[in-house]
Structure 1
Amino acid sequence: MNSLQFTTESSSNGVIEREFTVGDVPGVLWSPASGADRAPLVLMGHGGGNHKKHPAMAGRARLLVTLCGFHVAVIDAPAHGDRPVTAHDEEEVENLFRARAAGEPEGPIVVRYNDHLAKLAVPEWRATLDALQALTEIGTDGPVGYFGINMGTAIGLPLVAVEPRITAAVFGQHWPDTLAEKAKHITIPIEYDMQWDDEHISREDSLALFDAFASKEKSLHANTGRHKELPRFEADSAVRFFARHLGGAATPPARTDV
């Protein structure tokens, strides 16, 4: 098993930020500067074209750390952030840009490429979870959640489908093509975000993926707006969701500044 190696550490406003590697996979762990010896862990998946320390990741992580006292970890997906890019990656990105410029549907390309990335990333996430749980402040007996939208769903949903240590998840904004069958194996509590006016993912596709989850407890959050207009208050909702299901913290008040 690959061990976790911390490479940098900084602290601000009650949050410790530590970059790490597990094998050749880089990641970042946000933790409370003080608090309980053990705390729940939330794994977060970033969106396509972004990276582990994208402002959306850092902002959501700080909410979970400061309002709930959780640990939050993000790793760079294959071909993202500090990861190497292959010729196949470059070709798929070129295909996407070409379709976008021509006004053609992006979905088939994104679905195909994200499925490829998920096959690589799921084993990396499981190895990272092993390494994180070896840390004294996290341990193997604490609850684990997953939070990922867009490509974070494309990678996270297959991960959650095979990873019994994850007991609650927030997903959203992806096509059902390669994910619906995997969603049928997921029974943990789910919160799912969709944009009602999404120009890329139809309402029917969003509802089909939500419907595929076998979870007895699942909530659909449908907001008006286009694909990139997911309201910031959905991050607050996700914090309250994880506070309910991972325990160890009171339900936080609503926040709209992240």
Structure 2
Amino acid sequence: MRFISQTSSDGVTEQLFTLGELPGVLWTPDDRAGTRPLILMGHGGGQHKKAPGVVARALRLVTEGGFAVVAVDAPNHGDRPKTEEFARVVAGLRAGVTAGEDIAPHLAAMHTLLAEQAVPEWQAVVTAVQELDFVGAGPAGYCGMSMGCGLGVPFVAAEPRIRAAVLGLLGVHGLAETAARITVPVRFLLQWDDDRVPRAQGLALFDALASADKTLHANPGKHEEVPEFETGSAVRFLTRHLGQATVS
């Protein structure tokens, strides 16, 4: 893990890094003595590790929850090269949108392709960040919506260090069996008038989760109209299940 730059603003330290060829960013409190829970954050499709929504949520997780937050560019996103296979999948998705088809199978194909690479990469990121003395090998959580949910479901199902997850804005297509392996507490977000994900598909993904402790948060509005107060709710949920920093 090689740090490239470090800046500080409003009590939060931001460090850009590379882990091998994987570019990422780590946010921590300026006064970071001791250890703290880690949140891995997945971004949406077509976005990157420092998309405005990712940064805004990360800053609140750090300032309000005392967490360390890490985000990396998903495969074929951000500063990472695009593969021909990914280009073919995206072309099929766009053709489906133009033709008015159900795009759920196209999205599932894209998420499956990306998750095969993203899951082991994210596991390596958690290992590397938890080796830092100001983070430590404590509990970890995951937060990801839309594509971040499509990649997050297989990641949470495969990674025992993840103790709680915030997921949502995605349907069940291609994820039912994987979701059934998730047993950690989950907070699931659904937009009641989502213009990209049919309501029934989102409800079916929530239902497929095997977690005994899971909560559905449904709000009126389209896919990108998630109320701001849901971020605060997510901070409280993750704090409740992961705890807070331990001052040395």
Give the TM-score normalised by the residue count of structure 2.
Answer: 0.95
Q: Is the 8 Å Cα contact of residues 43 and 54 (structure 2) preserved in structure 1?
A: yes
The letter of the residue matching 2:101 is E
- Residue equivalent to 1:54: 51
% same residue = 51
Q: CA deviation at 1:12?
A: 0.6
1:189: Cα distance to partner? 0.6
Are 2:49 and 2:71, in contact at CA under 8 Å, matched by a contact in 1? yes
User: 1:220 pairs with 216, 222, 227, which one?
Assistant: 216
Deviation digits for residues 177-196 of structure 1 (CA, Å, limit 9, x no counterpart): 22111111111110000111
Q: Paired residue for 2:104?
A: 107
2:87 aligned counterpart, secondary structure: helix
Does structure 1 retain, via aligned residues, the 8 Å contact 2:27–2:59? Answer: yes
In 1: Cα distance, 2:227 partner to 2:100 partner: 26
Question: Is the 2:171–2:203 contact (alpha carbons within 8 Å) kept by the matching residues of 1?
Answer: no
Structure 1 segments, 4+ long, off by >3 Å, are: none
Structure 2, unpaired ranges of 5+: none
SS in 1 for 2:236: helix
Number of residue pairs matched? 245
The amino acid that maps onto 1:28 is V
SS in 2 for 1:204: helix
Amino acid across the alignment from 2:122: W
2:32–2:134 CA contact under 8 A, matched in 1: no
Per-residue CA deviations over 1:26-47 (Å, capped at 9, x if unaligned) read 1000000014411111000000
Equivalent residue for 1:252? none
Secondary structure of 2:94's counterpart equals helix
Q: Which amino acid aligns with 1:30?
A: W
1:132 is aligned, of 129, 134, 143, to 129
Alignment TM-score, normalising by the size of structure 1: 0.92
Q: After superposition, what is the alpha-carbon deviation per residue over 1:81-105, rounded to whole angstroms, capped at 9, x for unaligned?
A: 0110011122222222222233333
Task: Tell me the alpha carbon deviations over residues 48-87 of structure 1, each in whole angstroms, 9 at most, x when there is no partner.
Answer: 0000000111100000111111100001000000110011
